[in-house]
Amino acid sequence: MNLREYKSGQYMQQYLYKSFTPSKINHQFTWDDSKINVLLSDANRKMRELNVFPCIIMKRAKEEFKACLMMKMKANSFAEME
């Protein structure tokens, strides 16, 4: 189905009102400009990069927390020795 030919739905006259009935969206869509494929691919890649970014931040935060905890434990053990 060409995206330009797609109709999102239709208005139907009901008893005392008009309602909008959406059409099915389970169609294979095509488009005339192949640049859209490139843009979608780039957008998909960038979204994956954004999903990885929080993981990197959390890993770094955990490493810094562990380092800080280790320093406090060493400081406490030195204080107990005195």
> What is the spatial distance between Cα 37 and Cα 49, in angstroms, rounded to a whole number?
18
pLDDT-flagged residues of the chain (< 70): 1, 3, 53, 55, 77-82
Q: Is the dihedral of CA 69, 71, 74, 79 positive or negative?
A: negative
Whether 11 and 18 have beta carbons less than 8 Å apart is answered as yes
Q: Is the dihedral of CA 25, 30, 36, 40 positive or negative?
A: positive
pTM comes to 0.37
Domain ranges of the chain: 3-81
Structure tokens that stand for 31 in this block: 């488009």
* Neighbour tally for 27: CB within 10 Å: 12
Structure confidence by residue, pLDDT tens digits, 41-53: 898 888 887 777 6
